[in-house]
């Protein structure tokens, strides 16, 4: 299992490195004009409409952009057959990874099991990782239309409304002045150029969501080490935190359907170095980014639920009046 884990970590890392070397930033590509069909958000499983998470999101975004797929919907070979389709001969699949924490008993240096003072086994969790292969629907023939398009479409707030809701719900201290966007952990304050300084609203909100992602790492919130004890510009710690904020912003933009201008320029070199030095770098960053995006989007989910509940109550009221 250890060898398998090492190989899969390296395989995913190599895929991200290859994409960056080609000038494709996987978490930017869904909003590129060349891959406009992917702009609907996260890659999903076409059988159950469940989105993929973590590094799977990044890998599938990158693969779809590089290979020009027209959809962000995927299936395994077995799922394609179950759905009545067939992967075309010669098609090359895309590596996905499945993680599961496994509880194991701790051992001492010579391999003896460890127990606490009450005689209970001392346990720890270790990550188990295995790989599986996915195929884009563009690579599969014979599928019914229902697998290409979801049967139900969620009713989301408008994009700008959603972005505003995230910002307002955060309660972050944001100062709109100057020409630079930054977050100060010492002051716990975000500084942003005024909205009118941006060419379009998407650029403004994507930049603000990036800075809000840094903001989530403060010791009073998620206490992310790369924010609590930030590294110097150019250091691995600095590159790590910038990648976390970049990915978190990308996840938020995908969730609300915003075509954001993300701030990756100037960091690709640092990311490539860190990726080549540490094959777990992208996994750790994507995990922290998920936490950051989840922290910011949680109030938005409650707002969606409240909006849907209000709509349902109104509908029921109208039905009673009609009766």
pLDDT tens digit sequence for 31-84: 333 333 333 468 899 998 888 888 898 899 888 888 889 888 999 999 999 999
- pLDDT at residue 307 tops 60: no
Tell me if 137 sits within 8 A of 74, measured CB to CB. Answer: yes
Rounded CA-CA distance 29/274 in Å is: 21
- 199 band by pLDDT with thresholds 50, 70 and 90: confident
| Chain mean pLDDT for the chain | 82
What is the helix (H) or strand (E) element at residue 215, kind and residue range? helix 201-215
Strands lying side by side in the sheet with 174-176:
174-176, 189-192, 182-184
Beta bridge partners of 123: 105
Please check the confidence at residue 1 and state whether its pLDDT lies above 80. Answer: no
Contact between 270 and 234 under an 8 Å Cβ cutoff? The reply is yes
101-142, pLDDT tens digit by residue?
A: 788 888 888 888 888 888 888 888 877 788 999 999 999 999
- Whole-angstrom distance, CA of residue 111 vs CA of residue 303: 52
Cα gap 289→244, rounded to integer Å:
5
The angle subtended at Cα 62 by Cα 35 and Cα 287, nearest 5°, is: 125
Exposed e or buried b for every residue in 1-38, given b needs 16+ CB within 10 A?
eeeebeebbeebbebbbebbeeebbbbbbbbeeebeeb
- Mean pLDDT over 192-198 rounds to 92
């Amino acid at each position: 299992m250890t060898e398998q884990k090492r190989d899969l970590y390296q395989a995913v890392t190599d895929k991200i490195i290859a994409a960056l070397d080609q000038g494709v930033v996987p978490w930017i590509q869904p909003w590129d004009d060349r891959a406009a069909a992917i702009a609907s958000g996260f890659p999903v499983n076409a059988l159950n409409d469940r989105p993929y998470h973590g590094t799977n999101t990044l890998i599938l975004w990158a693969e779809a952009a590089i290979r020009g797929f027209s959809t962000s919907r995927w299936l395994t070979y077995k799922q394609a057959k179950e759905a009545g389709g067939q992967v075309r001969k010669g098609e090359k699949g895309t590596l996905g990874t499945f993680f599961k924490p496994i509880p194991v008993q701790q051992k001492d240096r010579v391999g003896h099991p460890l127990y606490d003072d009450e005689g209970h086994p001392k346990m720890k969790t270790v990550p188990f990782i295995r790989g599986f292969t996915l195929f884009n629907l563009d690579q599969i023939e014979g599928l019914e239309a229902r697998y290409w398009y979801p049967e139900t479409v969620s009713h989301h707030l408008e994009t700008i409304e959603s972005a505003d809701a995230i910002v307002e719900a955060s309660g972050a201290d944001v100062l709109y002045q100057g020409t630079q966007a930054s977050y100060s952990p010492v002051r716990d304050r975000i500084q942003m150029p005024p909205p009118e300084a941006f060419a379009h609203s998407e650029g403004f909100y994507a930049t603000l969501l990036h800075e809000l992602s840094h903001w989530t790492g403060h010791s009073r919130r998620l206490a992310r080490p790369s924010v609590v004890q930030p590294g110097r510009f150019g250091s691995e710690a600095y590159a790590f935190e910038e990648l976390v904020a970049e990915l978190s912003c990308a996840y938020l933009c995908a969730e609300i359907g915003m075509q954001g201008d993300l701030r990756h320029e100037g960091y690709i070199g640092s990311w490539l170095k860190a990726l080549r030095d540490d094959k777990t770098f992208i996994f750790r960053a994507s995990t922290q980014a998920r936490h950051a995006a989840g922290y910011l989007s949680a109030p938005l989910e409650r707002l969606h639920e409240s909006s849907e509940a209000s709509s349902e109550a109104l509908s029921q009221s109208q039905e009673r009046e009609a009766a």
